[in-house]
Structure 1
Amino acid sequence: MEIFLEYAWVLLVLIVLEGLLAADNAVVMAVMVKHLPAEQQKKALFYGLFGAFIFRFAALFLITVLVNYWQIQAIGAAYLLFISIKNIYDQKFKNGDEDEDDVEEHTKKGKGFWATVAKVEMADIAFAVDSMLAAVAIAVTLPEVGNFDIGGINAGQFGVMFFGGVVGLILMRFAAQWFVKVLHDYPDLETAAFLIVGWVGVKLAVLTLAHDKIEILPHEFPHSTTWKLIFWIVLLLIALGGWFLGVSKKKKQTEQQ
């Protein structure tokens, strides 16, 4: 009974953790699919969820191997920072009015449906490793059940991580849909959304720099209370700042009409 309660408690903690991780991941997914027509947005998010499930499931089996490859987090960090900087630059320094030829050219250059799905899946790979690393750090504190291992992890601990991850994916799917709607209703929030994407990239960069094979940062730092507080406080400040500016701007536009 005591072991059951311990497993139930850790599963609850993992669900909350996955829910928190799903929030920033969902913003990234929402921003990536925002330019698509409404019907295609839902399809792209569905494929993104399906890909995320596969990557997280694979990461569970391979986490003891993947943890040795810091390049995965590094590529994810570079990718998110690139799209954040590029899109903010385009918003601020390029003409926002595009004619039909420009839109068609953008589509050919990688903003079409399947190109968007591919970008979402690339981000999912980095998120999968990040999510599973956090889950492993919590699940390994549980007592082992039986002598059966899966992917180098005790079967009981593996099961808890799996169910926590599935719940997290479901939360991410609905959160991403909500963020897409918010970005549609308040277009001026897009800059804040891309700042959050960049900040998530910074989180992956911190994870990379603390890897055992690099150790520019202390190995424990990405999982420390100090860094978690810094990350979430900055993320909330970006979100709240963007929200108030976006709502204020829309209110002024409505009054002027």
Structure 2
Amino acid sequence: MEAILLEYLWVLVVLVFLEGLLAADNAVVMAVMVKHLPSEQQKKALFYGLLGAFIFRFVALFLITILVNYWQIQAIGAAYLLFISIKHIYDSKFKTEEEVHDEDTAPKKGKGFWATVAKVELADIAFAVDSMLAAVAIAVTLPALGNFDIGGINAGQFGVMFFGGIIGMIIMRFAAQWFVKVLNNYPDLETGAFLIVGWVGVKLAVLTLAHDGVGILPHDFPHSTPWKITFWVVLLALAVGSWLTSVAKKKKEVTGH
């Protein structure tokens, strides 16, 4: 029994670490989305956005064994993350100064408080799909604990997923506020943040293509070591690269050369 509890504790630590990494990505996106709001509304938007995501995650935990059978859910999450990533990069890199000026002087459609909250919640939900699928893949490797199920998953495995997810949400809440301050000092980090969003969208797209209902990629490919290494190496490269680029540009602006 002690060995099983130690195994559960170890998996919980792994899940908290994984949720922390995914929460950091999510926090960056949330920070970018609320940055245009006044400082008082930023905190409220983050709170309401996280509240909606928490409710979704809590309900989805009880339905996870049903959700994983529908590749369409993963596909929608992938499409949304790829859409907001591509749209932001296009707007920031390819729109002319005249188009940007016209948007700045036009009514702020979709930029209001509740519109921002809705966007934050949609992004949170898309990230939640990714993190829950990863949590399920890890939790189901644990031995059964207890003789009853919750949401189609053994109660012990469900408990590990639940507590790992809650801790991840707490990390995200505080990380998002910190990233708002960082983005105010290094605005060029926005592009790097949305490149990471797009890369997470690619990860969900790979899961979709490997789903039994689609079958374009081998079923085990998303869980293979080469793909996992590729995903994390690219993610780290995007994060470090965007940070170094932003710091260098900031330094150039300050020094003038």
Using the size of structure 1 for normalisation, the TM-score is 0.92
Given that residues 63 and 129 in structure 1 are in contact (C-alpha distance below 8 angstroms), is that contact kept between their aligned partners in structure 2? no
2:139 is the counterpart of 1:139: yes
Given that residues 81 and 126 in structure 2 are in contact (C-alpha distance below 8 angstroms), is that contact kept between their aligned partners in structure 1? no
Equivalence map 1:35-184=2 (5 Å): 35-95=36-96, 102-103=103-104, 105=106, 107-108=108-109, 110-184=110-184
Superposed CA offset, 1:5-37 (max 9, x none) = 122111111111211221222222222222222
Q: 1:113 to 1:243 in 2, by over 3 A?
A: same
Q: 2:200 corresponds to which residue?
A: 200
Q: 2:35 corresponds to which residue?
A: 34
Deviation at 1:93, TM superposition (A): 2.2
Report how many residues are paired: 255
Deviation at 1:146, TM superposition (A): 2.2
Distance 1:193 1:173 in 2: 17
Deviation at 1:96, TM superposition (A): 5.0
Q: 1:18 corresponds to which residue?
A: 19
Secondary structure at 1:199 match in 2:
helix
Give the counterpart letter for 1:143 in structure 2.
P
Deviation at 1:41, TM superposition (A): 1.7
Bigger mean CA offset, 17-26 vs 155-164 = 17-26
Given that residues 31 and 180 in structure 1 are in contact (C-alpha distance below 8 angstroms), is that contact kept between their aligned partners in structure 2? yes
Distance 2:210 2:38 in 1: 40
Superposed CA offset, 1:217-255 (max 9, x none) = 112222222112111111221222211121111111111
Deviation at 1:184, TM superposition (A): 1.0
Q: 1:243 to 1:86 in 2, by over 3 A?
A: same
Deviation at 1:50, TM superposition (A): 1.2
Q: Structure 1 vs Structure 2: percent identity of aligned residues? A: 78
Distance 2:219 2:32 in 1: 31
Give the counterpart letter for 2:253 in structure 1.
Q
Deviation at 1:62, TM superposition (A): 0.3
Instruction: Show structure 1 runs of 4+ deviating over 6 A.
Output: none
Q: 2:231 corresponds to which residue?
A: 231
Bigger mean CA offset, 10-19 vs 24-33 = 24-33
Superposed CA offset, 1:19-71 (max 9, x none) = 12212222222222222222222111111221221111111100011111111
Given that residues 22 and 172 in structure 1 are in contact (C-alpha distance below 8 angstroms), is that contact kept between their aligned partners in structure 2? yes
Distance 2:106 2:190 in 1: 22
Superposed CA offset, 1:46-102 (max 9, x none) = 112212211111111000111111111211211111111111111122245855x74
Distance 2:130 2:194 in 1: 20
Given that residues 144 and 156 in structure 1 are in contact (C-alpha distance below 8 angstroms), is that contact kept between their aligned partners in structure 2? yes
Give the counterpart letter for 2:121 in structure 1.
E
Give the counterpart letter for 1:21 in structure 2.
L
RMSD across aligned positions (CA): 1.9
Structure 1: segments with no counterpart, 5+ residues: none
Deviation at 1:105, TM superposition (A): 3.3
Secondary structure at 2:106 match in 1:
helix
